[in-house]
Amino acid sequence: MGKALFVIDLENEWINEQSEYYIGDMTQLVENVNRLIEFERNNGTKILFIRHVEKDSTEAFAENSPNTELIGSLQRNDTDTIITKYKINPFYMTDLEKALEGIDEIILCGVLTNLCVRMSAEEAYDRDYGVTILADCCMSYDAITHTFTLDDLVTTRPEIVITELSEYIQQ
C-alpha cells in the first residue's frame, strides 16, 4: 500500500496580521513543512493540501478570499491534490477518501494542532489508517495547547506515532 501526507490548513488567514485568526510568525513551521514535503515527494508519497473554507462567511476563511489560498511559500506542484473542506473534519463531505485509494498510512502536519490536525488524526485512526504526526510541523496558538493535544492523542490512541521531523527523516 502507500502513504499520503496531509498538509492541513496552511492558508494565508493564519499569517494575515489583520485577521482575528492571526497565529504569529509561521516561518519556521513552513520551512519544516517544506522539508517534509520534499522528503515525502522524493519517497513517492502522495501529497494532499487540505484547505479550510467557511461557507457563507464574508470575513474569516471566506470562499474565494486571498486568505483561504495556500501560503505561497509552500512547495507545491501539479501532481499534488487539493481538498477543500467546510468543516473541521477533512473526511466530511469531501473527496478525500477517494483520493486515498491505495493508501494505508497518513502523515500529518499543519494548523491548528488542537483542532484540524487532531480531527484528521482521529478520523484517519478510526478508518484504520496508520497515523504519524510531525510535532514540529504543527502549530497551535500556544505551546501548552499544542503539547497537551499531542500528549492526549498518544495517551488515548497509542498506535498514533508522534515524532519530530529530524527523527522521522532519519528513519
Ordered DSSP codes for 18-42 = TSTT-----HHHHHHHHHHHHHHHH
Mean pLDDT of 98-102: 97
pLDDT(1) > 90: no
Q: What is the dihedral sign for C-alpha 53, 69, 29, 125?
A: positive
Cell of 99: 483520493
pLDDT(98) > 90: yes
Domain 2-170 fold is: Rossmann fold (3.40.50)
Task: Give the model confidence (pLDDT) of 118-141 as tens digits.
Answer: 999 999 999 999 999 999 999 999
> pTM score, two decimals?
0.96
Longest dimension (CA), the chain: 45
What residues form DSSP beta bridges with 139? 111
Q: pLDDT grade, residue 43 (50/70/90)?
A: very high
Mean pLDDT of 1-9: 96
pLDDT(3) > 90: yes
Q: Within a 13 Å sphere around the CA of 2, how many CA atoms are in the beta-carbon half?
A: 14
Residue 48 pLDDT:
98
Q: pLDDT grade, residue 38 (50/70/90)?
A: very high
Residue 99 pLDDT:
97
* Mean pLDDT of the residues in the chain: 97
Residue 70 pLDDT:
97
Task: Give the model confidence (pLDDT) of 138-170 as tens digits.
Answer: 999 999 999 999 999 999 999 999 999 999 999
Amino acid letter at 88?
I
What is the DSSP code string of 96-115?
HHHHTTTEEEEEEEEE-III
Domain boundaries, the chain: 2-170
Amino acid letter at 65?
S
Mean pLDDT of 94-103: 97
